[in-house]
Amino acid sequence: MKEVMANDHEILLARVGDSLYAVDSRCPHMGGKLTEGRLEGTIITCPRHGSRFDLADGSVVRWLQGSGLLSRIGTTLKSPRPLKTYNVKVEGGEILVEV
């Protein structure tokens, strides 16, 4: 997993098995750097609040860690938003991201 710049966008690139994924490198909750998070299969966990996203389609797996009052308040103040995904391919040994 690595962060790269593409047309002024911070992009997280990750290879999982034979697949390559490109998504926004910042969590849509509070901008946590996802490259500092944990990647398990295609699921990335934000290091700030534990939000989890699927790199395959950007979907929210879990919007904030925990089930307490702070988690409920956080969800009320900022509703779950998926990660932006980008088309990515390899051509001639170069990784191309469509932004």
List the chain domain ranges. Answer: 2-98
Q: What is the mean pLDDT of the chain?
A: 89
Q: φ, ψ for residue 69 (rounded to 5)?
A: -60, -45
Which residue ranges in the chain fall short of pLDDT 70? 65-78
Residue 46 has what pLDDT? Answer: 95
Residue 2 has what pLDDT? Answer: 96
Residue 70 has what pLDDT? Answer: 52
Residue 80 has what pLDDT? Answer: 87
Instruction: Please check whether the domain covering 2-98 is classified as CATH 2.60.40.10.
Output: no
Residue 30 has what pLDDT? Answer: 85
The closest of 34, 38, 40, 41 to 13, measured between CA atoms, is 34
Q: How far is CA 41 from CA 38, 85, 90, in A?
A: 10, 16, 20
